[in-house]
Structure 1
Amino acid sequence: MSHDSDQRLVEAVRAGDATAVAEFLAGGANPDVAASRFQGPVIVDAARDGRLDLVQLLMDAGASIGPSGHFNVTPLRVAMLEGRAEVVRHLLAHGALATETVKRTSLLTEAVSYTRHRPGPAAVDTLRVLLEAGATPHPAEEALLITGVVGPVPPVVLRLLLAHGADPDQKRSDGTPAIVIAARHGDDAAVDTLVEAGADVNAGDRQGRTALMHAVERNERRVIATLLTAGAATGTVSSDGMTALQLARGWQRQNVQFMLGERQVGLDSVPIERTFVRIIPAAARLAGDPPMLHLLASAIDIALEDLGDDEWDTRTGVDAGTARAVALRLRDEITPATHGSWYELPVTADELAAPRSALVELAYGTTRAMPDGVDRWALTDLLEELDRQLGR
């Protein structure tokens, strides 16, 4: 058949013209013709576009569904990546899974990962189709649940894997349980999903550190609450002699100490074995729109006026003069970001403490005055968002 006829087939596939595709195939066009010099065969294009009718026509004409090109591209993998569940189902029914190469990440592992990178109902539906077809990871790959927790993927994906037989107590190749990985990541949704599926809430890693211990050390309070309400043991001792409470004391995490049952807490210097490196920045950059940055300035002004300099110094530990200077800078020195649409102000750690301390006073202290048009809940939300970024 002539090159002209093959090229017309390529154009018909690109246009999604099923009638023309059938006509050119009937006339002898090559069903494996490449879409271009650097692209795979036209069936790959049809699969990518989710055109099951075109895929069927090409397959009926003898098109190959195996790997092609330097990257071993297959219509099945392309359809999976694009979330074309019906095309995936059709290709699987015609043996496409057996044509996948072991030189690439397994189709199933990649499908799990793609629910994170390109989330949506189509990605979940495609993963479900692969699971129902019996697809498996390569022997050297991590178990799917571990891939999902490490991702991390949305909880719906973890529930889907668990519904298809994944072990909620699955361990990574180094012996770390999935629930511990989720706790280290601060993924309370994944922790809750695993607990609901029956995971051992007290499972430990190779050092005997439980999910609760890791969550405590990283100050992941939502994870801590999830684990404690699920019955996590607070008195477990790791192989290096640590307990959750010791770790909380060693990092001076007072709120966590209360969560663990302490009645009185302090800032004692308690030596512990740490598995976590905390970043304590000496400088920062506040970024936002001018009204939000001006709001921080107003919070400082109000708190200073209400408390007075001496009380402010005592309650916050921040010099009142420094606080006033920061408020002035927040109004007069913010500048547009070089490569963004927001405004910025570089601040030292001491300067950053001023707006945060002001928010604490307005949200939880005795100060009753509020910036114009802002209520206490809005300031509480802003404070919590800052604290999350600061790892408090």
Structure 2
Amino acid sequence: QSYRFGGTALFCAARQGHEGILRLLLETGANINQGSYDGKTALHAAAISGKEGAIKLLLEAGARVNQGDNDGYTALHWAVRLEKEGLVKILLEAGAHINQGDCKGRTVMQQAARHGNEGAVKVLLEEGAKINKVDNNGRTALHWAVMSCWSTTGGHEGVVKMLLEAGADVKITDQEGKTALDYARGHIADFFT
């Protein structure tokens, strides 16, 4: 059964990390990959909430690790927003596509950079994520890290340094004809010199 907001009992149990209830629901035939009104599955809910035990249980029970929600976000897209590198590793070990884009072509590396998650960026770099892959607007992870650096708080400056040290191409232009350096002027230009 689906509730008012579109989430099933399995979705709710995953979001709360109630592993016992998850097991019971799965044993009684709950559809593990059923999406809510916005396409989010129980695995998405567990990733959004950072519930490691629920993620492991759902993956062991056959949850589709690369299933996207209505915006194309996989559980890995959601997990890189949190400061929990362990979740990222679990999903990658389960076969999550490291360079999969969402509906706007944004990869998990771009999401991690946009949210200033140094730990996730480190894991993704170690696992071979493409740092110069562009989204539908021609932006790379470096563009996103720089653009987000002054609009939010967090590890964006550290992410910028990590991407540069890993060989991010500062000459790639987006659809507006701007490089990451163009966005950085007056903000963090000293990282590029």
Q: Which residue of 1 aligns with 2:137?
A: 174
Contact 1:179 1:194 in 2 (8 A): yes
Structure 1 residues 213 and 72: alpha-carbon distance in aligned structure 2, compared to 1, 3 A threshold: closer
- What do the CA deviations read for 1:118-142 (whole angstroms, capped 9, x no partner)? x443xx4323322221223357432
Displacement after TM superposition at 1:189 (Å): 1.9
Q: Report how many residues are paired.
A: 182
AA aligned opposite 1:109? H
Deviation string, structure 1 residues 259-284 (Cα, Å, up to 9, x no partner): xxxxxxxxxxxxxxxxxxxxxxxxxx
Q: Tell me the SS of whatever aligns to 2:116.
A: coil
Match for residue 88 of structure 2 among 106, 119, 127: 127
Contact 1:180–1:205 at 8 Å: present in 2 too? no
Structure 2 counterpart of 1:165, which letter? G
- 1:188 paired with 2:152, answer no
Note the alpha carbon deviations across 1:60-106, whole angstroms, 9 max, x for none: 23232131554445322221121111211221122211794653432
Query: Aligned match of 1:160 in 112, 123, 138?
Result: 123
Cα pair 1:35 1:45 within 8 Å, conserved = no
Residue identity opposite 1:190 in structure 2: V
Name the TM-score, length of structure 2 as normaliser. 0.73
Confirm or deny that 1:143 pairs with 2:111.
no
Residues of 1 paired with 2:6 and 2:172: CA distance?
A: 49
- DSSP 3-state at the match of 1:48: helix
Letter in 2 for 1:155: E
CA shift for structure 1 position 198 = 2.4
Select 1:215's aligned residue among 169, 184, 188.
184
Instruction: Report which of the two structures shows the higher radius of gyration computed on alpha carbons.
Output: 1
Q: Is the 8 A contact 1:72 1:101 kept in 2?
A: yes
TM, length-normalised to structure 1:
0.40
Identical counterparts, % of pairs:
26
What SS class does the counterpart of residue 131 from structure 1 fall into?
Answer: helix
Contact 1:80 1:88 in 2 (8 A): yes
* Number of the residue aligned with 1:67: 34
Structure having the higher helix fraction is 1
Provide structure 1 residue ranges, at least 5 long, that are not aligned to the other structure: 1-33, 229-392
Give the C-alpha shift of residue 56 in structure 1.
Answer: 1.8
Cα distance in 2 between the residues matched to 1:139 and 1:87: 23
Contact preservation (8 Å) 1:76, 1:96: yes
- Structure 1: how far apart are the matches of 2:148 and 2:7? 39
Shift in CA distance, 126/225, structure 1 to aligned 2, threshold 3 Å: same
Larger relative contact order (Cα-Cα within 8 Å, sequence gap ≥ 6): 2
